[in-house]
Structure 1
Amino acid sequence: MDDSELLAAARDATENAYVPYSEYEVGAALLTADGDVFTGCNIENANYSNSLHAEEVAVGKAVSAGHDEFAKLVVTSSERDAVTPCGMCRQTLAEFCDDDVPVLCDDGDDFVRYTVGELIPDTISPATLGK
């Protein structure tokens, strides 16, 4: 799947966002190593700490379907502001992604491109936990 198809899937996911508090819709499209795509949107809760982020929803859907290796992530927002995954989402991505996995952030015209390793260097990992 090419970048434009992943972007379309991420943008479509924003349509399902539940954002009554922030009104800031985020969508993500996660490409698995074997070519499947899982999308997620943000789901807010009045207790903000219980809110779910689009990237985590996509990872959760993929992992619960038996996937644990990922090839690329596209993230977008209703603002097309090149939003990046937050720290919590970055750590979740680092659990399943190699440092060189691309993370493409939609700025409306193109992507701002990162890798997981650029977004969260020196992550908490099995190695740092002695596993």
Structure 2
Amino acid sequence: MEHNQHGTLQPTGNSSKCGPEQIQRLLAACREAKEFAYCPYSKYPVGAALLTTDGKIFSGCNVENACYPLGACAEQTAIQKAVSEGHTKFQAIAIACNSKEYYAVPCGACRQVLREFGRHWDIYLAKEDGTYIQKTLEDLLPQSFGPEHLNII
């Protein structure tokens, strides 16, 4: 579904596993996390909020580094926080940026990090104005490689 800031719904072909209240909590958490982004080089703050299957939310923001490859994306920060506290089962993630034109989308590396923990979870991609679209990881990373491919022996 696509929602605007006034709550208008527009179908996108995917049905959400999360209820409207959970989606709003996730979106609020990712927008809040975005405020803590450390992005002095790109000036592109990103926030992510990850929902575990038992209802806990872990948020993260991007953290840049002068040595660019050492930076961390918001999605990876949220995953690492959750895993470091013993959570590895997720049902949704919301991602927000400050773009007025584009929805926040995970980079290729983040898509693969998300894939490590399953393919069938919801991803909410938000714009600065509060509108968002709902996708699945399968939509964003079709025919993906995951842990089950390593169990060939």
Q: Specify the code of the residue in structure 1 equivalent to 2:45.
A: E
Q: Residue 128 of structure 1: CA displacement? A: 2.0
Report the TM-score when normalising by structure 2: 0.80
Check 1:105–1:17 CA distance in 2 against 1; reply closer, same or farther (3 A cut): same
- Helix, strand or coil for the counterpart of 1:90? helix
Query: Structure 1, unaligned stretches of length 5 or more?
Result: none
Structure-to-structure mapping, 1:31-42, within 5 angstroms: 31-42=51-62
1:75 corresponding residue in structure 2:
95
Q: Residue 110 of structure 1: CA displacement? A: 2.2
Work out the CA distance in 1 between the residues paired with 2:40 and 2:144.
32
Q: Residue 47 of structure 1: CA displacement? A: 1.2
Work out the CA distance in 1 between the residues paired with 2:147 and 2:46.
29
Moved more, 25-34 or 105-114: 105-114
Q: Residue 127 of structure 1: CA displacement? A: 2.5
Work out the CA distance in 2 between the residues paired with 1:109 and 1:90.
22
Q: Residue 125 of structure 1: CA displacement? A: 1.4
Report the TM-score when normalising by structure 1: 0.93
Q: What is the Cα-based RMSD across aligned positions, in Å?
A: 1.3
Q: Residue 91 of structure 1: CA displacement? A: 0.5
Q: Residue 124 of structure 1: CA displacement? A: 1.8
**Which aligned runs of 4 or more in structure 1 are off by greater than 4 angstroms?**
none
2:116 corresponding residue in structure 1:
95
Q: Which has the larger radius of gyration?
A: 2
Q: Residue 82 of structure 1: CA displacement? A: 0.8
Work out the CA distance in 2 between the residues paired with 1:64 and 1:3.
24
2:134 corresponding residue in structure 1:
113
- Name the % identity: 42
Tell me how many residue pairs correspond in the alignment.
Answer: 130
> Is it true that 1:26 corresponds to 2:61 in the alignment?
no
Work out the CA distance in 1 between the residues paired with 2:130 and 2:38.
25
Q: Residue 78 of structure 1: CA displacement? A: 2.1
